[in-house]
Structure 1
Amino acid sequence: MAFDVAPGPALRRDRIAFAVKWVASVVQIAGYAATAFGVTPLNLYLFIGGVIGWFAVGAMWQDRAIMLIHVVALGSMLAGLASG
């Protein structure tokens, strides 16, 4: 017996996390490409966008390891931008 039930908050959060992680991944890949072709500082801006996206996914998943690595990465990139 199938029930026609509206998706709950957990399902919506999972769908949002799915979309954010793929967008953030594509943005980070664009950052790698920009680095490979020497397009600076655009590469850092792309990396920052991807890192923020992945931090958000870590928060949605309540995964502290993902959040930690991306906070450290964000701090490194911001320091690089400030120094350059």
Structure 2
Amino acid sequence: MTVEKIVHHVFKGVGRESLAFGIKWISSIIQILGYAATGFGWTPWNLYLFVIGVVGWFAVGVFWNDKAIMLIHSVALASMTVGMISQS
């Protein structure tokens, strides 16, 4: 089962573009909160917020079939994951 099929199953009845629009804005706000958390030194909360935002934007890339968005956010997620594991 693909990510897209899972998301469509969870959000039945919601239009594809409406769903992408909502995820895009929610993910953007969460990433902005991640930047604010970084500014205030709220670690590891900043990383958790960034991970949620990055996963959301990756989902938007899947909806739009935009490989550039999927690439940059998969690299960001991998980098953050490696960094978080190495700090443990």
Fold conserved between structures, TM > 0.5: yes
Alignment of 1:2-81 (within 5 A): 12-81=15-84
In structure 1, stretches of 5+ residues that fail to align are: 1-10
Deviations 1:17-52 (A, max 9, x none): 000000000000000000000000000000000000
Give the share of equivalent positions with the same residue, in percent.
Answer: 61
Which amino acid in the other structure matches residue 59 of structure 1?
V
In structure 2, stretches of 5+ residues that fail to align are: 1-13
Moved >3 Å (runs of 4+): none
CA distance in 1, matches of 2:84, 2:50: 12
- Larger Cα-atom Rg: 1
- TM superposition score normalised by structure 2: 0.82
- TM superposition score normalised by structure 1: 0.86
